[in-house]
Amino acid sequence: MVDARSRSSDESLVRKLVRLMDRAGLPGMVGKGDRVAVKTHMGAPLTTRYLRPFYVRTVVEYLRSLGAEPTVVETTGLGLLDPRGTAEKYLKIAVSHGFTEETVDAEILIMDGERGLDCVKIDVDGFRLKEVSVPRRLMDFDFMVGLAHFKGHEITGFGGAIKNYGAGCVCKETKYYIHFENKPTVDEALCDGCGECVDACPTGAITLRGGKAKVDWNLCYGCKACQSVCPRKALKSTRHRDPKEVQLRVVDAAYAVLKTLGFDKVFSLNFLIEVDWRCDCEHRQRGWSDLPIVPDIGILASMDPVAIDKASIDLVNKAPAIPGSQAYEVGAVEPGSDKFRLIYPDIDWEFMLKASEKMGLGSQEYKLVKVS
Ligand code: SF4
Ligand code: SF4
C-alpha cells in the first residue's frame, strides 16, 4: 500500500501509485502487446465521490510504458431506462464526470454493448448461480487491472475489488439475479393490456394474450424496461430480503469473471480515498454522495481480491471517524470501531469475505507492505 500523506511532489499520490504498481510486480505480469482491460466505475448522476479520471490515466500510461495496450472498460447499469442503462447514456455521464478518451488517454469501452446484450454465459458451480452472463468483449483481453473506489454499500456492507468484478463486470441478466429472486412476472389483476411493455422490451420477451401481458423468461435478459414503463405497476419482481443472498451471488459472479480472464490475470487496486458509506451508483435515479467517513488512507494493490478487501476494511475501521459523517453519527467514533457493522447493523460484511474464500477467490490473510 501507499499512504495518502504527501509532503513533496515526489510523494504525490500519483507518483506513489506508479511505485506501488512497480513494487506489486505488475511489470512481471503484463508484457508487450498484451490487451489490458482497465476496469473502473465512472460515477452516476449527482454523485461526487467517485474515482478521479487522473488515477485511471496514470494506470493507462503505466501499462503503455510496459508495452501493453490498455482499454478503459465498464458495463451498462442494471435498468435499461436508468441513467447508466445504455452505453450512450453511461458515456454521457462519464463525460460529465471528466472521463473522456482524451482525459484517460485510452479508448473507453462499454463491454456489454449499447443495450447490454453483447454477452455470453459462463458456467459456474456457485452458491446460487450456475451460469453468469459476462460481456463477450471481456474475452478480448489478456489481463485486467481493476480500480475500485473502496466504500460502504447498502446491500453488501462494503464495495471493493470483489464487487468491482462480481457486479461491475457482468451483464444485466446477472445484475438482475444479484438483486432479484426472479425475472418480471405479470400481476394480471393490474394489467390492462395497454402494450407499453411490449413496445419497450428489446428482446421481444413480452406478448399480449387474452388482453394480458405474458413474459417469456427464456427471452428476457432482465433489463427492467418493462417495469419502468408499466403505468399500472403490473410487472413485479421480488428483491432478495436477506443481504446474504445478494452477497453470495456477487461472489459467484466475481468467480465467473476471474475464471473467464484467468485467476492470475486480474490485478486489483483499491482506492481508500473519499470513503463514502454508500455506493457510487445511482440508487434508482436518486444519486448523492455524503461526507467521507474517514480521512483519506491511500491505495492498496494485490493479486488477491479477498485479501485486498479485508485489508481495506481493516484500515477503514482502524481510522478515526470524520466528525459529522455517518460513521460519527452512528457512534463509530473511536479508531478500531467497526464502522461498516455500525452503519449497516443488518448486514454481515464478513459473510461475503468468508463466502469468497470458500469459493476460491482468495484468502482473508494478508501482510500489509508499505511502499513509500
Ligand atoms: S405495460 Fe403493464 S399494464 Fe400495460 S400491458 Fe404491460 S404489464 Fe400490462
Ligand atoms: S421482459 Fe423484456 S423489458 Fe422486461 S426485463 Fe425482460 S427483457 Fe427487459
The model's pLDDT over 25-45, given as tens digits with 9 standing for 90+, comes to 999 999 999 999 999 999 888
Q: What is the pLDDT of residue 333?
A: 87
Distance 97 CA to ligand 2 centre (A): 29
Confidence of residue 56 (pLDDT cuts 50, 70, 90): very high
Q: Higher pLDDT residue, 43 or 214? A: 214
Q: What is the pLDDT of residue 47?
A: 83
Q: Is 176 helix (H, G, I), strand (E, B) or coil?
A: helix
Domain boundaries, the chain: 2-178+242-359, 182-236
Q: Which top CATH class is 2-178+242-359?
A: alpha beta
Confidence of residue 285 (pLDDT cuts 50, 70, 90): low
Residue 246 has pLDDT above 70, yes or no: yes
What is the arithmetic mean of pLDDT over 129-134? 98
pLDDT digits over 333-357, tens only? 888 999 999 999 999 999 999 999 9
Q: Is the distance from CB of 119 to CB of 241 less than 8 angstroms?
A: no
Please choose from 215, 233, 235 the residue to mutate so as to test ligand 1's pocket, defined by most ligand atoms within 8 A of CB.
235
Half-sphere exposure of 130 (CA within 13 A, CB side): 0
Q: What is the pLDDT of residue 316?
A: 97
Percentage of residues of the chain with pLDDT beyond 90: 91
Q: Higher pLDDT residue, 254 or 278? A: 254
Give the number of whichever ligand sits closest to the CA of residue 194: 1
- CB neighbour list of residue 29: distance below 8 Å, 6 or more residues apart: 143, 264, 265, 267
What is the arithmetic mean of pLDDT over 92-99? 95
Confidence of residue 129 (pLDDT cuts 50, 70, 90): very high
Q: What is the pLDDT of residue 154?
A: 85
What is the arithmetic mean of pLDDT over 271-283? 84
What is the arithmetic mean of pLDDT over 3-14? 94
Q: What is the pLDDT of residue 10?
A: 93
What is the arithmetic mean of pLDDT over 251-275? 97
What is the arithmetic mean of pLDDT over 156-162? 95
In order of 134, 246, 341, the CA distances from 351 in angstroms are: 24, 11, 12
Q: How far apart are CA 142 and CA 31, in angstroms?
A: 10
Q: What is the pLDDT of residue 41?
A: 93
Q: How far apart are CA 124 and CA 135, in angstroms?
A: 15
- The response to whether residue 221 sits with its C-beta less than 6 Å from ligand 2 reads yes
Q: Is 123 helix (H, G, I), strand (E, B) or coil?
A: strand
What is the arithmetic mean of pLDDT over 264-285? 86
* Ligand 2 atom nearest 235 alpha carbon: 4
What is the arithmetic mean of pLDDT over 280-291? 72
Q: What is the pLDDT of residue 362?
A: 98
Q: What is the pLDDT of residue 120?
A: 98
Q: Which top CATH class is 182-236?
A: alpha beta
Distance 120 CA to ligand 1 centre (A): 29
Residue 286 has pLDDT above 70, yes or no: no
Confidence of residue 271 (pLDDT cuts 50, 70, 90): very high
- The response to whether residue 188 sits with its C-beta less than 6 Å from ligand 1 reads no
Distance 361 CA to ligand 2 centre (A): 32
Q: What is the pLDDT of residue 43?
A: 86
Residue 288 has pLDDT above 80, yes or no: no
Q: What is the pLDDT of residue 283?
A: 57
**Number of neighbours of residue 84 by Cβ within 10 angstroms:** 27
Q: What is the pLDDT of residue 282?
A: 61
Residue 159 has pLDDT above 60, yes or no: yes
- The response to whether residue 223 sits with its C-beta less than 6 Å from ligand 2 reads yes
Low-confidence winner among 87-91, 169-173, 324-328, 358-362 (lowest mean pLDDT):
324-328
pLDDT digits over 64-79, tens only? 999 999 999 999 999 9
DSSP 140: G
Average pLDDT, the chain: 95
**Number of neighbours of residue 139 by Cβ within 10 angstroms:** 12
Distance 230 CA to ligand 1 centre (A): 5
